Amino acid sequence: MIALLWIGCAGPAPAPPGPPAPPGFACPEGATHHAGDDNGLLVHTCNDTAGVRTGPHVGLRTDGSVAMEGAWQAGERHGAWTEWTADGAFRSLTTYASGIAEGPRREVGPDGRVLQLDMAGGEAVRMQVLPAQTPMPQWADGQRGEGLRHAGP
């Protein structure tokens, strides 16, 4: 058995590497990748030099399928955040501007149809049911694309 001994003058031994980033996941320049468990998901994020979340965010299930993805800007959700069911079907999409829901929010209703809420300043200002054949993002064979796998319960 070989034991490694850290001898250094610059502080404690470096932390062991965590899970690697998934393919295509890249932190912005100057940010570092972080991975950890969050309610049963392996979440990959990036932190800037001050420890503030920035850049992409991906939550993976234990089987490696994508449960959610979005992005951070200055520690706030920003842009589109999308969630999928375990089989890759569309569950929801919320658009954020500096942490506040702004623009379209789509989610699957109890009957399988997609509801769209138009958000302004974090408040719903309009709701509509989208036609049954409206394509939404989905995952199939490890690839993200547009599909109709939200249309039925």
Contact indicator for 145, 138 with CB cutoff of 8 Å: yes
Contact indicator for 101, 122 with CB cutoff of 8 Å: yes
Contact indicator for 36, 18 with CB cutoff of 8 Å: yes
Residue with tokens 């610059």: 10
Give the model's pLDDT for residue 151: 59
Contact indicator for 132, 151 with CB cutoff of 8 Å: yes
What backbone phi and psi angles, to 5 degrees, belong to 58? -135, 130
Of the candidates 134, 148, 132, the one whose C-alpha atom is nearest the C-alpha of residue 89 is 148
Contact indicator for 34, 44 with CB cutoff of 8 Å: yes
Q: Mean pLDDT across the stretch 19-26?
A: 90
Task: Give the model confidence (pLDDT) of 71-85 as tens digits.
Answer: 999 999 999 999 999
Q: Mean pLDDT across the stretch 4-9?
A: 39
Looking at per-residue pLDDT, the higher value among 1 and 33 belongs to 33
DSSP for residue 88? S
Residue with tokens 């049954």: 132
Give the model's pLDDT for residue 11: 44
Q: Mean pLDDT across the stretch 116-127?
A: 95
- Position 14 pLDDT exceeds 60: no
Residue with tokens 């590497």: 17
Q: How far is CA 87 from CA 61, 150, 153, in A?
A: 11, 11, 13
**CA 59 centroid distance within chain:** 5
Q: Mean pLDDT across the stretch 24-33?
A: 95
